[in-house]
Structure 1
């Protein structure tokens, strides 16, 4: 993709931004639409929130449902995927001794939510350790299924892992676990807009995804999908007026989740605009967006592996979406790595070379890797500049 596509974003022109995966970046046209919606809201808040917002949210949910392959009535808007994970885990009931599986690649915030929910009910968290490097999707399936026992009740799994950028074989895991009576909560924070989704066909019990990352909606736009047969048993984290509403034109799931107190609904209302804007930037629409981003990071990985002397990639192409990891040589001092800790090389890349790219210790320091992202505004020159900077800083 050509550099002019960057003009659709308000990104700092002095920074080479290779970290779309962390918080996304919203195009200026979408932000302008959000400003117009906010002005409309504030011009008459009661009219907007009490009379106008419900059909607008219905329209936004319909557009999102069409994009992710789900019935609109099976989706609830969330401020972020972490809230979606917490909503499910706090709403389920487990017995002492029940087992909840996750992997050692699970996002820290979601793993924390799983630990808290399990501890409150006396359940046990079982962590499947994935091989690293990862030889194949089948190796992930084998590692998870090896932990399944008659006590297993739920799998919590990232669709695309945050630390390692692996596209996980969730469809195969959902299928095999359902055959054994085990449901799956998919933490799809990176899924929408990175990989094609067909949630209706996936069959997972629960799927939560962010719209502010690869869909490029404003911050605070996410969703939770709940399979229809499980909706009656799930309540939102915030119980509000919908709990005892006498309305019969909507399901209880809709009534419970559509209004959870006063908040700014404009991030959700901007989802259709984000879908239209991003999909309209290239001739092939969203399929081309996803394919282009994937090809960019695969090419960047090949080039950087060659420049860094890596004999082989950390995992196969089949497990790559719009992010990918590249192994770095060891050498920096080991330091504690709490959430959001910045590796010294991460800091130097930004401060000395104006390159924003995360450096992650994995599986633990001193082993580490770069996590590269690709969005339409990135160009091959961005990754070549990163290669130049690495050769200079690691020399």
Structure 2
């Protein structure tokens, strides 16, 4: 994709036309779960193939000279996209890797504490727990509970910040807070700026798990001022999988190292993290193509207008069809492109284990060709939907119908 494509395609019609023209998605299957693994648009897919061919055409030249120059250009574009100094951002394969890099670099001791949330992504909470176990530190957890049994009550951003503040005040050993920008299983848009501000007033560092944020919300590092910020580019920024960013504030760069050391360990931040031996760097080289595709769609504002409107319509349609509530949070706490709807009553008697949740999603997919995410909170089962520019309201009408039709009791669940 050339830089000229960033001017936008004024003729692009979101929905089925966009899906058919720009995506390789199976035409007989309905994907309403873009948030998990994304979907690579054709122009980005073709750009990556061009890089793969160049790599195989001249392997030595690629790994010795070409790839580094290409990645640096992409890094600079990502830095512009998130409003930060290019020297403060590196590429990693995914947010899980980035969180591990940061956590294992921190000089935690038995006198220190780390704070996570009860709705944090499992891999991140496990990492925090294991690092604390090895270092003798304590892993605390914010008990983030939804008022599911209190009709009329609703979770607000102010209440969310207070939960963090109370937990931090109760545990003066906390040295690091891990907070999601957008949570995974509950699709909450967290009041990150306010949480960061409170933490910094207490001398506490903040690591932001932003796996779902780039391309779903505007990111301004200068405004947020996190200590560490890790975001996937493959979900809503349209890159191939295996492309994520890790921002590290200048004040913290000297103590940060990747969990894998390479021959570039004693060079600057960029080389320490990005030059991890011989591997496929082509996803990193497609960050520009992903951002260009977003701009070709009319930019984040236009994409947000479509996806958020579709999210609201789909949420209302599904909740009405099932006769079930949505997650009781304010609009300000709802992710722009994702949301939750409680599943019909017949699903709540199922065991609320990860295996069962995955089995339900898998069986619905195999029988109806509809792919969604099924999650659990406080003993209730929810459907998490994602809305992207290739989706239409008919996709969610189909989802609503098949979830009502399918009966977990007939499958021994």
Q: Distance in 2 between matches of 1:262 and 1:383?
A: 43
- The residue number in structure 1 matching 2:11 is none
Q: Distance in 2 between matches of 1:136 and 1:156?
A: 20
- The residue number in structure 2 matching 1:144 is 164
- The residue number in structure 2 matching 1:212 is 234
Q: Distance in 2 between matches of 1:126 and 1:88?
A: 18
**Quick one: structure 1 residues 89 and 341, their matched pair in 2 at CA, closer, same or farther if it must change by over 3 Å?**
farther
Q: Distance in 2 between matches of 1:244 and 1:111?
A: 30
Is 2:277 the counterpart of 1:261? yes
- The residue number in structure 2 matching 1:248 is none
- Deviation of the 1:330 alpha carbon: 3.2
Residue by residue over 1:367-394, the C-alpha shift from the partner in whole angstroms, topping out at 9 and shown as x without a partner, is 1100000111001111111222233336
Q: Aligned to 1:358, which of 366, 373, 385?
A: 373
- The residue number in structure 2 matching 1:166 is 188
Superposition pairs of residues 173-322 of structure 1, within 5 angstroms = 173-245=195-267, 252-281=268-297, 284-310=298-324, 313-320=327-334, 321-322=336-337
- The residue number in structure 2 matching 1:45 is 59
Q: Aligned to 2:92, which of 75, 78, 91?
A: 78
Larger mean Cα displacement after TM superposition, 188-197 or 313-322: 313-322
- The residue number in structure 1 matching 2:397 is 384
Residue by residue over 1:132-185, the C-alpha shift from the partner in whole angstroms, topping out at 9 and shown as x without a partner, is 145111221111111113211010111111111111111110011101101110
Q: Which runs of 5+ in 2 are unaligned?
A: 1-13, 148-153, 409-413
The SS at the match of 2:346 is coil
Residue by residue over 1:92-148, the C-alpha shift from the partner in whole angstroms, topping out at 9 and shown as x without a partner, is 011213111111011000111101111111111111111214511122111111111
Q: Distance in 1 between matches of 2:356 and 2:127?
A: 20
Residue by residue over 1:281-330, the C-alpha shift from the partner in whole angstroms, topping out at 9 and shown as x without a partner, is 2xx32221123212211221122222222356432221222110011133
Larger mean Cα displacement after TM superposition, 22-31 or 384-393: 384-393
- Deviation of the 1:216 alpha carbon: 1.4
Q: Distance in 2 between matches of 1:344 and 1:256?
A: 40
- The residue number in structure 2 matching 1:325 is 340
**TM-score with structure 2 length normalisation?**
0.89
Q: Distance in 1 between matches of 2:271 and 2:369?
A: 47
**TM-score with structure 1 length normalisation?**
0.93
- The residue number in structure 1 matching 2:385 is 372
- Deviation of the 1:267 alpha carbon: 0.1
Q: Distance in 2 between matches of 1:158 and 1:313?
A: 17
RMSD, aligned CA: 1.7
